[in-house]
Amino acid sequence: MFRYEKPQKGRERQFHQYGCEVLGAEGPAVDAEVIALNVDFLSQLGVQGMTVQLNSVGCSTCRPVHKEKMLEALAPRKDELCKDCQQRLEKNPLRIFDCKNDRCQVVLKESGAPMILDTLCEDCHTHFEGVKTYLGTMDVAYEIDPKLVRGLDYYTRTAWEIVVDGVGTVSGGGRYNGLVEQLGGPTTPGIGFAGGVERALLALEVQGFEWPQLDPVDVFVAVAEATADTVAMRFLKDVRNAGFIADRDYTGRSVKAQFKAADRMQARFVAVFGGSELENGTVTLKELETGTQQEFGFVDAIEYLKTR
């Protein structure tokens, strides 16, 4: 993905995104399911200290009511708002709650502008209560953030963000029942989330996460003669079936390069297959730490590895 806005720490010009979308279901249970999946994904990566900020942004029934009340409260003080919020007041007043201008936030508070939660229609209110109930059932902790909004009109009802101390928002999502229809398709409910891979990695870095070390390779199979390739593949499979971690080169590199690859993988042994091994039906095992090497038949080689 690519970002037009000014890059900053954890928000790169080019970034990578993971996500989830669910189309066709509109009940509150699926909202809770998707939020729980969002949390579980980050949790299993190792991210800690997450806070789920939750809100409802209403629908086409209750948002016009909210917009009218926002205009009534803010119109007399429109000139005190920043230029962006003056435009938002006419187009999408909800976005004013998302403004980072301190003066706009003061005007919002002093004018008594209503939160969207205060004007939800009955259906949206029932849906939001259902989402909270299901989240509670699934032991997903959350905080209500009445200022959490979405900038696009096709978003409806449930909206959330996952925030991590010292990092900020690492993932977020929302329901978008109006999107498919806006694109020319049939009315189709939808909900989903997206998160930046780099943001998740930053959260892990800030929290001092230590990446687990990969298990070293027990046996690296090196093919010194192309004609021995099929025999080497059979040995690779037999070694793995015996319970060892084994790997090989698939790019046709030289024997020297294959040994370097084995060293990078911290392999204990290199099993070499060349012309003489092919002719004798054997394999040469070299222990990298000691430099000693011996030639074995296939079965004897595996038995020897078990003793080592």
Banded pLDDT at 274 (limits 50, 70, 90): confident
pLDDT tens-digit series, residues 175-226: 999 899 889 999 999 999 999 998 999 999 888 888 777 778 999 999 988 8
Distance, CA of 159 to CA of 49 (rounded, Å): 20
Mean pLDDT, the chain, rounded, equals 89
Inter-residue contact 125 to 28 (CB < 8 Å): no
Distant-in-sequence, close-in-space partners of 60: CB < 8 Å, separation ≥ 6: 156, 178
Inform me whether the pLDDT recorded for 305 exceeds 80.
yes
Report the predicted TM-score, pTM, of the whole model to 2 decimal places: 0.69
Residue 228's pLDDT band, with cuts at 50, 70 and 90, is: confident
For residue 198, what are its two tokens?
A: 């780099």
Of 126, 132, 127, nearest to 35 (Cα)?
A: 132
pLDDT at 158: 96
Report which secondary-structure segment, H or E, holds 278. helix 275-280
Query: In sequence order, which residues have a C-beta less than 8 Å from that of residue 28 and are 6 or more positions away?
Result: 127, 128, 129, 130, 131, 133, 134, 158
Strand-pair partners of 294: 285
Q: What is the pLDDT of residue 208?
A: 87
Per-residue pLDDT at 71: 84
Whole-angstrom distance, CA of residue 124 vs CA of residue 129 = 9
Question: In whole angstroms, how far apart are CA 50 and each of 9, 29, 171, 194, 260?
Answer: 19, 21, 10, 16, 42
Domains parsed from the chain with CATH numbers:
17-62+120-206 (3.30.930.10), 219-302 (3.40.50.800)
Instruction: Give 98's pLDDT tier (boundaries 50, 70, 90).
Output: confident
* pLDDT score, position 241: 93
pLDDT band at residue 167, thresholds of 50, 70 and 90?
confident
- The average pLDDT across 51-59 equals 94
Structural element, H or E, at residue 193: strand 190-196
Q: What is the DSSP string of 41-96?
A: HHHHHT--SEEEEEEE---TTTHHHHHHHHHHHHGGGGGGS-HHHHHHHHH-GGGG
pLDDT at 152: 79
Average pLDDT over residues 91-96: 80
Instruction: Give the relative orientation of helices 83-91 and 63-74 as an angle to the nearest 10 degrees.
Output: 140
Span 146-169, average pLDDT? 89
Q: Which stretch of DSSP H or E encloses residue 18?
A: strand 17-23
Q: Is 252 left (phi over 0), alpha (psi -120 to 50) or beta?
A: left
The pLDDT value recorded for residue 111 is 83
**Residue 235 near residue 283 (C-beta atoms within 8 A):** yes
Query: What is the rounded CA–CA span in Å between residue 34 and residue 15?
Result: 23
Residue 10 has pLDDT above 70, yes or no: no
Mean pLDDT of 74-83: 82
Looking at 165-252, list the stretches that DSSP marks H as alpha helix, in order from N- to C-terminal side.
179-182, 197-206, 229-241
